[in-house]
Homo-oligomer: A and B are copies of this chain.
Amino acid sequence: MSLRHGLLGLLAEGPASGYDLARRFEKELGPIWPAKHPQIYGELNRLADKGWIVAEAEGPRRRKEYRVTEDGRTELHRWLLEKPADQNARVEPLLRALFYWQLSPDELATHLDHEAARWRETARLYQCAADSVDRGERGEGPRINSVRITVEAGVRLYEALAGWAEWAKKQSEG
What's the nearest-Cβ distance from chain B to residue A83, in Å?
A: 7
Whether A100 touches B149, Cβ cut-off 8 Å, given contacts A2-B95, A6-B95, A34-B88, is yes
Q: Tell me if A97 and B149 are in contact (CB < 8 A).
A: yes
Q: How many copies does the complex hold?
A: 2
CA distance A92 to B81 in the complex (A): 12
Cβ of A153 under 8 Å from chain B: yes
Majority secondary structure, A binding face: helix
| Chain A residues within 8 Å of B, Cβ to Cβ | 2, 5-6, 9, 12, 29-34, 73, 76-77, 79-81, 83-84, 86-103, 107, 111, 114, 118, 122, 141-143, 145-150, 152-154, 156-157, 159-161, 163-164, 167-168, 171-172
